[in-house]
Structures are given as C-alpha cells and as structure tokens.
C-alpha cells in the first residue's frame, strides 16, 4: 500500500501527471494574458477557450522528426531534456501545497528544503548551457554563453530576496515559513521589495522578455534550442513550463503567505496565487522589450542586488525590533 501511494505521489499527484496538466494550463493562461495585453485573441480553437492548445502543441512536437546533429555529443544531447524535466519535477514535489501538515511532514518536507528547491531551480540553467554546448552549433554556443552570463546576474539577487523572508520566519523549511506568515500576515508587507526583486529575477531565470536573450530569435535564431527538435524540444518546453509553475509556487509560498487551509482550500489558494504570480510575469513580458546581455548584468548588479541587500537589511533590523 505504501509503495502504491508513493508511486501515485510521484506519477499522478503531485507528480508528473498533475504537473504536466497544471503547467500546460499555466502556459495557456500566460499566453492568453499576453495575447489580450497585445490586443490579440490568443489560443481559441483547441478545446474550450483554447485550453488544450499547449497540450496539442506538445503532442505535435512529439510527433515531429527528431534530428540529432552529426557533430553533437549525442548521448549528452539526448539525455539533457529528460534530466532537466526530472530536476524541475522533483523541485515541484517540494512545494508546501502537498506538504501542508506540519505535525506529520511528508518525505519531501524537511528543514532546508528551500535551499534544495533553489538548487534544483538553478540546475535547469546549467542544463540549458550544456545542451547548447553539446549541440556545437555556433548560434547555440552563443546562446549557451549568454545563459551562463545571465546566471551571474540574477542568481544572487534571487537567492538573497527569497532567503530574507526565511530569515524573518527563522526557518529553512517552506511549510514552516508559510505557517509563520499565515500567523502574522502583516509581516508580508516588509517583504514586498524582495517580492519585486524575486519576480524580476524569476523572469530572467525563465528567460522571458525582457530577458529572452539566450534564445533571441532575431539575433541568434533559436539560440540554445537551435538544434533541438521533436521530442527533445517538447521535453525542454515542458521543462520551462514546469519551472514557471514551481518558481511561481515558490514565490507564493515565501512571499504571499503560502497555501493555508488543508488539502482542498490550500490547493485552491495555490492555483490563485501561482496564477497571480504568472499574471505579473506575463505583464512584465508584454510591457518590455528585450535588453542586451551587458545591460542585464549591469541592471542586476546595479539595481537588483542592492535592492535585495536592502531587503535583507530590513529583515535583520525588523528581527531585532520584533519580540
């Protein structure tokens, strides 16, 4: 029975199947919001309101011809999409939606899980870089170097801003952090600055406009994904979608007071809060134009990092004042 439950946990809910369905829904939501902001319709045809469009895209990509370049490192090239998908799905298991019960923690809720989650969210960046490098295409190589250059920009502000609420809550466990802010909702307010920094950093992590530099199609064709096609590209796209859901979930858990109310109500608040974060990300995407790689690094170190440090300072001072 325990084995069956574990399998269900990993494969159905909150594992692969749920993450797949929910992330495609989030992609639909993102596309729809983005389209409406641009005065377009967005997906309308497949399914009701075009809800099935991301799944249709996924299936279509699965059916496409899968080309592996002659010069590429074939094993690495083929393994990386699977590896990336595994990493982000594992990260998804750590969210405190399904680990809400503090008294009886599940196997994926432990002290320090926020660090593990951040680590697992950093890995896709490295996977993208390796994928670009393994495909040996000149556009991919430039894309790969851009992925890493950007990583140096946004990673530190993201860590600083996500960890400062944890410092205030005095815990490295996501469920405990969420519970702390549920008890004292007013303390969410001093973290708003960090939330802002984190949203921008997550936008950069997900490589969306204005940070879609590694795969800027007008400059370097497909960038990182130039040589990827068919199933592998489908898996990479799914990876990015799940990464978006997990990042949004992380921000919601840390900055927006988590998901109170047990399994069902907690789940509803998870949906609402992640969609809110994704809405902000879509808004940012629609309002800005792509900036240059040097501008990203300058921006990150000139504005994001100092703001994140300021947030940390606020939290430390607050901690001294609070009983």
Whether residue 149 is preceded by a cis peptide bond, meaning omega within 30 degrees of 0, is no
Cα 186 to Cα 191: distance, rounded to the nearest angstrom: 10
Cα 243 to Cα 157: distance, rounded to the nearest angstrom: 18
Minimum distance from residue 141 beta carbon to another protein (Å): 9
Q: Which is nearer to another protein, 22 or 133 (CB)?
A: 133
Q: Which is nearer to another protein, 203 or 269 (CB)?
A: 203
Q: Is 97 helix (H, G, I), strand (E, B) or coil?
A: coil
Q: Which is nearer to another protein, 109 or 203 (CB)?
A: 203
Minimum distance from residue 291 beta carbon to another protein (Å): 5
Structure tokens at 102: 């503090």
Structure tokens at 142: 């430039």
Structure tokens at 134: 């393994």
Q: Which is nearer to another protein, 101 or 217 (CB)?
A: 217
Minimum distance from residue 284 beta carbon to another protein (Å): 10
Minimum distance from residue 57 beta carbon to another protein (Å): 18
**Among 182, 160, 173, 112, which residue's Cα sits nearest to residue 315?**
160
Minimum distance from residue 278 beta carbon to another protein (Å): 17
CB 114 within 8 A of CB 162: yes
Q: Which is nearer to another protein, 156 or 286 (CB)?
A: 286
* Interface ranges with another protein (CB under 8 A): 37-40, 138-139, 142, 209-210, 212-213, 216-221, 286-295
Separation in Å, CA 151 to CA 36, 205, 263: 31, 8, 35
Q: Which is nearer to another protein, 63 or 67 (CB)?
A: 67
DSSP H helices in 170-256? 174-183, 192-205, 217-220, 230-255
Cα 274 to Cα 28: distance, rounded to the nearest angstrom: 13
Minimum distance from residue 50 beta carbon to another protein (Å): 18
Separation in Å, CA 174 to CA 102, 135, 178, 210, 288: 10, 37, 6, 29, 32
Minimum distance from residue 67 beta carbon to another protein (Å): 14
Minimum distance from residue 299 beta carbon to another protein (Å): 9
Separation in Å, CA 21 to CA 25, 56, 205, 230, 242: 6, 12, 22, 20, 10
Q: Which is nearer to another protein, 126 or 291 (CB)?
A: 291
Q: Which is nearer to another protein, 115 or 283 (CB)?
A: 283
């Amino acid at each position: 029975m325990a084995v069956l439950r574990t399998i269900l946990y990993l494969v159905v809910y909150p594992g692969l199947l749920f993450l797949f369905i929910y992330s495609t829904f989030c992609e639909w939501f993102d596309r729809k919001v983005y389209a409406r902001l641009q005065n377009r319709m967005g997906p309308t045809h497949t399914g009701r309101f075009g809800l099935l469009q991301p799944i249709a895209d996924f299936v279509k990509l699965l059916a496409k011809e899968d080309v592996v370049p002659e010069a590429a490192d074939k094993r690495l090239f083929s393994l990386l999409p699977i590896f990336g998908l595994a990493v982000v799905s594992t990260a998804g298991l750590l969210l405190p939606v399904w680990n809400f019960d503090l008294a009886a923690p599940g196997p994926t809720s432990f002290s320090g899980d926020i660090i593990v989650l951040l680590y697992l969210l950093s890995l896709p960046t490295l996977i993208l870089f390796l994928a670009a490098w393994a495909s040996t295409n000149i556009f991919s190589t430039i894309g790969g170097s851009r992925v890493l250059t950007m990583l140096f920009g946004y990673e530190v502000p993201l860590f600083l801003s996500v960890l400062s609420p944890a410092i205030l809550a005095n815990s490295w466990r996501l469920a405990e952090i969420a519970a702390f802010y549920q008890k004292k909702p007013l303390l969410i307010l001093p973290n708003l600055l960090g939330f802002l920094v984190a949203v921008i950093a997550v936008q950069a992590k997900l490589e969306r406009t204005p940070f879609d530099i590694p795969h800027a199609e007008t400059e370097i064709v497909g960038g990182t994904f130039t040589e990827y096609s068919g199933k592998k590209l489908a898996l990479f796209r799914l990876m990015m979608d799940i990464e978006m859901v997990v990042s949004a979930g992380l921000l919601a858990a840390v900055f927006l007071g988590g998901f109170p109310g047990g399994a069902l109500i907690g789940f509803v608040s998870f949906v609402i809060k992640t969609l809110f974060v994704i809405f902000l990300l879509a808004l940012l995407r629609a309002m800005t134009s792509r900036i240059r790689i040097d501008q990203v690094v300058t921006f990150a170190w000139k504005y994001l990092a100092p703001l994140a440090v300021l947030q940390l300072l606020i939290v430390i001072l607050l901690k001294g004042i609070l009983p």
